[in-house]
Structure 1
Amino acid sequence: MRYRQIEAFHAMMISGSTVRAAELMGITQPAVSRLIAELEQSVRFALFDRVRGRLVATPEARLFFREVEASFKGLDRLRATAASIRDYGEGSLRIGCFAAGSTDLAPAAIRAFRVRNPRIRLTMHVTWSSAIRDGVVDGNYDIGLAADEIDSSGLDTQQFSNMSGLIAMPADHPLNRLRQIEPQHLRGVPLLGLVPEDRARQRLDTLLDQAGIEPQYVVETPNSATICALATSGDAVGLVNPMVTGSFRHAGIVFRPFEPKVTFRALLLFPPNTQKSQLVKDFVSELLKQRNSFKM
């Protein structure tokens, strides 16, 4: 039993004649008849009877066709899967994203990506950068977007961003009159701070220490978006990652550059020793486009 014989039988069953079957297969009518005869020898029962000059499928042929049709549907699924892999990678994308990237940047990239790839299934998990790193290594994420404090050994990495931090404050805060905030302006000012292990927080603390200023942190959080939310009212201000600012620019909050610059660095993470699919490359391209819309 050969595939070409099965294909001729399938063409006969759906078309009803050797002439149409031959057209479907792109071969001659005698070739179709020969393939059907060979298949009948292989299965050891008649597939067609000639009734009033027409070939009519036998009951055995109809039973056999059920399995053949199921097989052809499976083959169609394989073809569709192959097309999906060729055009879109695996047809799904798993993203691990740190909190700062999940507020505005990654959602904007997902929206733009889906306009061109509406059938692709995306999953985004928002978690700690260290967990994103482990998830990429373990194969749980196709792409990771994480802060630079992680151990990137054993990963395929690409620098994603190096943004200058901004000071978030209520619109009626006294510091709003300044065009930029410098260390001496934060003397005695209640601060909303990132957690001590955050590298941007560490860089800020170093600058304040060099200026002889003891920071007065009243709240600490791992998320710049939380600092923005807390800074919408009250007397406290905080250094934030520019990635989160888009959602808060019309929420009674203003942002001022800080000098000397305190940078927020982010990395793109990929599974080691693995070629990037076209799907991954396309989504990274969208992330980079969105990144460029932020103040660097």
Structure 2
Amino acid sequence: MNFRQIEAFCALMACGTASRAADILNVTQPAISRSIAELEREVGFPLFTRERRRMIPTPEGQMLYRESEDAFAGIERIRMTAARIRNLGSGDLRIASLPALGDTLAPRAVKLFQEANPHVPVTLRVVGSSSVRELILSGEYHIGIVSNEIDLRGVERQLFERYAAVCVMTASHPLTAKGLITAEDLAGQAFVLPSPEDASRIKIDQIFGHRNIRLRVVAEAYSSATVCALVCEGVGIGIVNPLAAEKYIRSGLVVRPFLPEVVLMTSLIYPLGLQNSIISRQFSDVLRSVSKGIAPSGDAV
């Protein structure tokens, strides 16, 4: 029993005549008849009775058809997936991102990618950079967006973007009068720190430690987005990736440049050998084009 026989059988069941089934499958009528005869020999019972020019399904043929429909639908799904793989390099796209970019950059890139590729299902998962690496190492996800601060052994890697962290505060905070915030300005101010797992935390600790500036830490948050949310509520001041700050500006967040510069480097990572797949290249290109246009400069109010 093979696919050609099942295909002919299902077409004949749907059409009722060998000639119409042949037209649908773009084969000759004798080819349909031959496939049905071969299938009947293999299953060991008649699938149709011949009445004039029509083929009438036997009860056994109807039972087999019900089973064949499910199997045939599965084969069609495999065929469609194969077509997507042939055209795009993968049947779907699974992306994992660190929170600072996963809440802003990645959703916009997904929207643009799906406008161009509406038949490619996309999964976006937002987790810490180390967890992103684990998802890529396991092969479960195709593209990861991570901080360069983590161990990147065992994956394909492309440098992505360099961001300078910004200082964020509410519009009512006295420091909004300054166009540039320095580490010294934050001495004694209520401060919201990113968690130790965040790429910026080590650099922030180093900047203030080297200057012997004691921060008045009032809260810690797992992600830059949560830092921004706490700042919007007036909990304190924060230093975050500018992409994380971008969507909170509409909620009254004020963004200022910060010195000394806190440089946040990011990379795109892939399972070994998959960096050059068509679908990965397409989405990576979309990510880069979106990134050029959405980071606030540090003077937004």
TM class by smaller structure: 0.7 to 0.9
Matches within 5 A, 1:215-234: 215-221=214-220, 222-232=222-232
Q: Deviations over 1:45-88 (max 9, x none)?
A: 6666554x435436365555555555543432322222233345
Shift of 1:244: 0.9
Distance 2:233 2:3 in 1: 73
Task: Show the counterpart of 1:111.
Answer: 111
Distance 1:195 1:29 in 2: 71
Instruction: Work out whether residues 13 and 57 of structure 2, in 8 Å CA contact, stay in contact via their aligned partners in 1.
Output: no
Task: Show the counterpart of 1:248.
Answer: 248
The alignment yields a C-alpha RMSD, in angstroms, of: 3.4
Distance 1:154 1:29 in 2: 56
Pair 254,26 (structure 1): closer, same or farther in 2 beyond 3 Å: closer
Secondary structure of the residue that 1:292 maps to in structure 2?
helix
Matches within 5 A, 1:1-296: 10-29=10-29, 51=51, 53-57=52-56, 59=58, 62=62, 65-66=65-66, 69-87=69-87, 89-196=89-196, 198-210=198-210, 212-221=211-220, 222-232=222-232, 236-293=236-293, 294-295=295-296
Amino acid at match of 2:169: M
Moved more, 30-39 or 130-139: 30-39
Distance 1:209 1:39 in 2: 79
Q: Unmatched 5+ residue regions in structure 2?
A: none
Moved more, 178-187 or 85-94: 85-94
Secondary structure of the residue that 1:96 maps to in structure 2?
strand
Amino acid at match of 1:216: L
Shift of 1:243: 1.2
Amino acid at match of 1:78: I
Larger Rg over CA atoms: 1
Pair 177,213 (structure 1): closer, same or farther in 2 beyond 3 Å: farther
Moved more, 67-76 or 103-112: 67-76
Secondary structure of the residue that 1:244 maps to in structure 2?
helix
Q: Deviations over 1:207-258 (max 9, x none)?
A: 4455x44132323524222332333365842211101112221333311101
Secondary structure of the residue that 1:231 maps to in structure 2?
helix
Amino acid at match of 1:219: V
Distance 1:284 1:100 in 2: 17
Pair 89,220 (structure 1): closer, same or farther in 2 beyond 3 Å: farther
Distance 1:73 1:5 in 2: 15
Pair 158,57 (structure 1): closer, same or farther in 2 beyond 3 Å: same
When the two structures are aligned, how many residues end up with a matched partner?
Answer: 294
Shift of 1:176: 1.5
Distance 1:224 1:34 in 2: 67
TM-score for both structures, normalised by structure 2:
0.78
Secondary structure of the residue that 1:219 maps to in structure 2?
strand
Distance 1:180 1:143 in 2: 36
Instruction: Work out whether residues 148 and 266 of structure 1, in 8 Å CA contact, stay in contact via their aligned partners in 2.
Output: yes
TM-score for both structures, normalised by structure 1:
0.79
Q: Deviations over 1:9-59 (max 9, x none)?
A: 5554444444444444545555655665666666666666554x4354363
Moved more, 42-51 or 239-248: 42-51
Shift of 1:142: 2.3
Shift of 1:143: 2.1
Moved more, 112-121 or 32-41: 32-41
Shift of 1:133: 1.5
Instruction: Work out whether residues 94 and 124 of structure 2, in 8 Å CA contact, stay in contact via their aligned partners in 1.
Output: yes
Shift of 1:125: 3.0
Amino acid at match of 1:231: V
Instruction: Work out whether residues 48 and 55 of structure 1, in 8 Å CA contact, stay in contact via their aligned partners in 2.
Output: no
Secondary structure of the residue that 2:286 maps to in structure 1?
helix
Distance 2:94 2:70 in 1: 32
